Amino acid sequence: MDIQQHFPVGIIGSGAMGSGIAQVAATAGHPVIIYDTNPAALEKCRGSLAATLQKLQEKGKLPDAQAVIGRLSFASDMNAFAACGLVIEAIVERLEVKKSVFTTLEQVVAPDCILASNTSSLSIASIASACTRADRVLGIHFFNPAPLMALVEVIPAVQTAPGLPDQVKQLMQQWGKAPVIAKDTPGFIVNRVARPFYGEALRIYEEGIADMATIDWAMTALAGFKMGPFTLMDYIGHDVNYVVTETVFQSFFCDPRYKPSFSQKRLLEAGWLGRKSGRGFYSYAEGSAMPEPVKDEAAGRAIWERILFMLINEAVDALQWQIASAEDIELAMTKGVNYPKGLLQWCNELGSGYVLAGLDSLYEVYHEDRYRASALLRRMGVAQKEFPL
């Protein structure tokens, strides 16, 4: 792959993620082939992309929509990828389906074509194992909506050729993205580190310490997050958010830090998926009023600190296990999930000793492994040290 050239890019899947990635690649100057086995889905993708690009031109955010539209083509035969330099798969999160697609894909592309999965939580090594040339396979995880979200996680498998992740990172920078390199572990950076934002909020709610509206208020009005955990889970959809939580939990050999919540599972079972279904933790039916929070600042601080301590512990643990560099962990959490600041920076500001004491006090109450402090946080906290950033 010559990153100086606008080689053809293939996209497998014409859903929201696939069409979003296609828009990014075509806007960056690449001819893009979008493949789907469903002709109706392809036509829907064609129409929505054309409409989106026209709107961007009208708003002055794109100089020539027709030029970008002209780079897009649509195919129901994978042989259309024969000349591609990069193919990105963005289909259902089922390992066996992805492996089958990669086995077929490898037979039609050139020997030097890079094969990538947009998976958010599945093993890249497992996906790569479906290919004879597994050294050219890696993860390129975009965040939804791909045209707007800057972060891209680049995930090499154990089989990936040395140097390829850095090459892809440079390409993503050319596409106007903020790429980070993450180890091939469950959830990579964002979906691993962010789990307590949902999980600990659910725990606080299930224990009756505070209601959903109060927890959301504490996290937004006091801690500065753009969206509270219950509002965000409803926005993402429980069919997505719960499934990622369950996948990460099982992939980490049922580590209690990632334990799913029955409250969220019951919503999924009831079909109350959040905004998309009109009801989740909150009701979105016409005329529904959002519940009012209890605006007690002392209680609110206890809520947001508890959730934040758990988030910081995850970020520190990811650093300890060399999942990514400190710089990439900070970039991932600010660009990928729009946190007010990097979690390691936040730890430095609060004091590593203060965060450690907060986690230890939770452990003393619960005696659950869920609240164990990362060994690196303990070392830094005992020595009252800051993380070098």
Output the domain CATH number for residue 53. 3.40.50.720
Tokens of residue 334, six digits: 């600010």
Of 142, 160, 181, at which residue does a domain stop?
181
**Per-residue model confidence (pLDDT) at position 1:** 66
Same domain, 125 and 239: no
Mean pLDDT over 171-200 rounds to 97
Which residue is it, tokens 């390691």? Answer: 344
Of 181, 210, 245, at which residue does a domain stop?
181
- What DSSP line would sit under 76-130, residue for residue? SSGGGGTT-SEEEE---S-HHHHHHHHHHHHTTS-TT-EEEE--SSS-HHHHHTT
Of 181, 207, 229, at which residue does a domain stop?
181
Same domain, 216 and 265: yes
Same domain, 228 and 362: yes
pLDDT-derived band at 111 (thresholds 50, 70, 90) equals very high
Mean pLDDT over 325-341 rounds to 97
**Per-residue model confidence (pLDDT) at position 121:** 82
User: Is 302 or 5 the better-scoring residue by pLDDT?
Assistant: 302
What is the overall mean pLDDT for the chain? Answer: 96
Alpha-carbon distance 106 to 102, whole Å? 6
Cβ contacts of 148 within 8 Å, gap of 6 or more? none
**Per-residue model confidence (pLDDT) at position 234:** 97
CATH number at residue 265: 1.10.1040.50
Q: Does residue 175 form part of some domain?
A: yes
Residue 4 has pLDDT above 80, yes or no: no
- State the residue range of the domain holding 137: 9-181
Same domain, 172 and 200: no
Alpha-carbon distance 56 to 337, whole Å? 24
**Per-residue model confidence (pLDDT) at position 86:** 98
3-state secondary structure 25-55: HHHCCCCEEEECCCHHHHHHHHHHHHHHHHH
Query: Residue 172: which region, alpha, beta or left (left: phi > 0; alpha: psi -120 to 50)?
Result: alpha
**Per-residue model confidence (pLDDT) at position 117:** 98
The residues that are catalytic are 120, 141, 153, 191
Alpha-carbon distance 184 to 126, whole Å? 10
Same domain, 167 and 61: yes
